A and B are shown apart, each in its own frame.
Chain A
Amino acid sequence: ETGVTQSPTHLIKTRGQQVTLRCSSQSGHNTVSWYQQALGQGPQFIFQYYREEENGRGNFPPRFSGLQFPNYSSELNVNALELDDSALYLCASRSGGDSTDTQYFGPGTRLTVL
Chain B
Amino acid sequence: ILNVEQSPQSLHVQEGDSTNFTCSFPSSNFYALHWYRWETAKSPEALFVMTLNGDEKKKGRISATLNTKEGYSYLYIKGSQPEDSATYLCAYQDSGTYKYIFGTGTRLKVLA
Contacts and interface: CB of A to CB of B under 8 A. Distances in A.
B34 A45 contact: no
A76 to B, nearest CB: 16
B49 interface: yes
Nearest to A44: B102
Contacts, number: 55
B78 interface: no
Contact of B43 (A101, A102, A108): A108
A52 to B, nearest CB: 18
B104 A56 contact: no
Interface of B: 4, 6, 31-32, 34, 36, 41-46, 49, 51, 89, 91, 93, 97-105
A5 B60 CA distance: 27
Interface stretch (A35-43, A61-69, A78-86): A35-43
B49 A42 contact: no
Given A56-B97, A56-B98, A100-B51, A105 B43 contact: yes
A107 B45 CA distance: 10
A108 B101 CA distance: 18
A40 B44 contact: no
Contact of B32 (A40, A58, A100, A108): A100
A95 B104 CA distance: 25
